[in-house]
Structure 1
Amino acid sequence: MSSKSNNKTFHVHKKSGEIAVFLPEKVRESLKRAGADSETINSIVAAVENELYDGISTKEIYNRAFRLLKKKNTLQASRYKLKKAIYELGPTGFPFERFIAAIFKNSGYEVEVGKILQGKCVTHEVDVIAEKDQKSLLIECKFHGTEGKKTDVKIPLYIDSRFRDIQNLKSGKLYDEGWVATNTVFTEDAVMYAKCCGLNLLSWNLPKGNSLKDRIDHTGLYPITVSVLLSAREKQFLLSRDVVLCKELINDKFYLDHLGVSEKRQKKILIEMKELCKGIQL
């Protein structure tokens, strides 16, 4: 992530294996996006820079900033960990599929998850079908449980062939667009191929201005895994019961009762969830 503390440039090991130069602006930007004020941002960046060493990992930088922010504001810490929280939707990809369906549903689409469609050659289980204003989308989801792993060209190649097989069934319904959604980023080849063949991509950073992180920030549709108040065991229990979104837990706190969460903790958790969900219809 060239910062020069004491005129020294520090190199950072990214999760992808790449090496980059540490840029404090990146830490500032992520803290600002989480809602932190200038004073908090300056103090956290200063603390992080004070502990830099050449070869530090982005994970160490993140963990340090996260711990400091959590001490100051747990709600902002929840927003700050959004990217990590998406990875925590695993280990299976099904919660991520439901999450993507919820993103499109919030934009006015009627959605179906895991529907079987007949193609010209074989049948296909489509992760998400979204329909609005006589426009229908086929959305395939590629979930990675390992941070730093990119979605390469093989995925849009495979999805494009499935989309074409479904479209080639002349007696079947024609779909307007094929989509690939991932919780990571696409390689350059994947982006080039998708652009060439007409596939739409949704990833952590694409499309610009309407990426996955942008859509979550704009809609307040945060996954329950962002919570800094729920334990890992509690999150996995909720995901196993198909409770993926914070707003779903607000609407049915029965699950917290079932988990044996005390009234005091329930109150704190629900306040956190409602703050995260501000501005959306519960």
Structure 2
Amino acid sequence: MNSTINIIKATGEREPYSREKIIYSIKRAGIPDVLRDQVVRHIEEKLFPGISTSEIYRHISEFIGRSAHPYYEASYNLKRAIMELGPSGFPFEQLVAAILSSKGYRDVQTNVTLQGKCVSHEIDVLAVKNEGHYLIECKFHNQPGLRTDVKVALYVDARFQDVLSAWKAEGDRHKLHQAWIFTNTKCSKDVISYANCRGMKVTAWGYPDKDNLQELIESGKYYPITCLVSLPNFFKQKLLAQNIVLVSDLKANKNLIKSLSVSDPEKAKVEQEINYLLNS
């Protein structure tokens, strides 16, 4: 393989093709070694100078979908599946709330209006743990190549300080108050620097090294229903409209699967894919 082939990232930047990055992404999705080697050979046959990362991932997904292990496509396409929760950011907020609840946070609420010292603020997610009060901004992007930039951190911090001022004026006795940014994309370096300086938490795609968004979803099996390649997009949107966001929600309510206007073999495929995601 000629390592000098440059590919185009979603941001428009160019970088050399990396077999190691492809292998890492495949292994992370739990794809077995025997299929991994086949995928690498397949994609390297398709490479050409200037190929986009989105085209590379499309080739990988299509190859996995046609293989003897088609359900691995669901876990491999996690990042794309999260973006497909939009255009509204509300399903992403529900995903974040579910993750926090599983991590021991209590009184987790979404879409809360809090009065600040100056104005009122709509808070995406509010959570409590031990003596800590957390105000969480869920920054959702539904297009590849976008990053959460420092303007978001500045905006979140300003709102947090206004609410904190009101709480202190009311004699609030919580020992800890903290602003928290949750995003489904990567963050700019300035976001990380500003957050560290201001004592804010950040959970993003690939950040921090431990308990980043991808890791939280995979370790807790909090896969969104948009991961399911066997489920038609029309039904995904219908379920999201009913606040059914997680594959585990679909698993818990078998009547939802039975109500799908698809054939019995297609329903069986959906159930098989659900079992793979939640039990693998």
> What is the TM-score normalised by the length of structure 2?
0.94
Aligned to 2:88: 92
Aligned to 2:265: 264
Distance verdict in 2 for CA 1:51–1:162, change over 3 Å: same
Distance verdict in 2 for CA 1:8–1:96, change over 3 Å: closer
The CA deviation at 1:8 is: 5.5
Q: Tell whether the 8 Å contact from 1:66 to 1:77 is kept in structure 2 after alignment.
A: yes
Matches within 5 A, 1:1-282: 5=1, 7=2, 9-72=4-67, 73-110=69-106, 111-169=108-166, 170-171=169-170, 173=172, 176-278=177-279
**2:277 is matched by which residue type in structure 1?**
L
SS at match of 2:279: coil
Distance verdict in 2 for CA 1:8–1:200, change over 3 Å: closer
SS at match of 1:254: helix
Provide the C-alpha distance between the structure 2 equivalents of 1:51 and 1:262, rounded to a whole number of angstroms: 35
1:215-274 residue CA offsets vs partner (Å, 9 max, x unmatched): 111111100011110111111111111100001011123333443233332232123213
**2:197 is matched by which residue type in structure 1?**
C
Provide the C-alpha distance between the structure 2 equivalents of 1:38 and 1:255, rounded to a whole number of angstroms: 35
Provide the C-alpha distance between the structure 1 equivalents of 2:129 and 2:30, rounded to a whole number of angstroms: 33
SS at match of 2:217: helix
> What is the TM-score normalised by the length of structure 1?
0.93
Same amino acid, percent of matched pairs = 39
SS at match of 2:180: strand
Provide the C-alpha distance between the structure 2 equivalents of 1:127 and 1:254, rounded to a whole number of angstroms: 30
The CA deviation at 1:9 is: 1.3
Provide the C-alpha distance between the structure 2 equivalents of 1:15 and 1:245, rounded to a whole number of angstroms: 26
SS at match of 1:61: helix
Please, which runs of 5 or more residues in structure 2 have no aligned partner? Answer: none
After TM superposition, the structure 1 stretch with the greater mean CA deviation from structure 2, 174-183 or 117-126, is 174-183
Provide the C-alpha distance between the structure 2 equivalents of 1:273 and 1:133, rounded to a whole number of angstroms: 34
The CA deviation at 1:207 is: 1.2
The CA deviation at 1:157 is: 0.3
After TM superposition, the structure 1 stretch with the greater mean CA deviation from structure 2, 129-138 or 169-178, is 169-178
Distance verdict in 2 for CA 1:199–1:8, change over 3 Å: closer
Provide the C-alpha distance between the structure 1 equivalents of 2:171 and 2:255, rounded to a whole number of angstroms: 42
Distance verdict in 2 for CA 1:194–1:49, change over 3 Å: same
SS at match of 2:149: coil
1:155-182 residue CA offsets vs partner (Å, 9 max, x unmatched): 0000000010000011164562110011
The CA deviation at 1:33 is: 1.1
Provide the C-alpha distance between the structure 2 equivalents of 1:263 and 1:131, rounded to a whole number of angstroms: 44
1:120-177 residue CA offsets vs partner (Å, 9 max, x unmatched): 0000111001122232211111111111100100000000000100000111645621
Q: Tell whether the 8 Å contact from 2:110 to 2:123 is kept in structure 1 after alignment.
A: yes
Distance verdict in 2 for CA 1:259–1:179, change over 3 Å: same
Task: Give the CA RMSD over aligned residues.
Answer: 1.5
Q: Tell whether the 8 Å contact from 1:16 to 1:148 is kept in structure 2 after alignment.
A: yes
Provide the C-alpha distance between the structure 2 equivalents of 1:157 and 1:123, rounded to a whole number of angstroms: 17
Provide the C-alpha distance between the structure 1 equivalents of 2:29 and 2:143, rounded to a whole number of angstroms: 23
After TM superposition, the structure 1 stretch with the greater mean CA deviation from structure 2, 30-39 or 196-205, is 30-39
Number of aligned pairs? Answer: 274
Provide the C-alpha distance between the structure 2 equivalents of 1:66 and 1:115, rounded to a whole number of angstroms: 38
**2:130 is matched by which residue type in structure 1?**
D
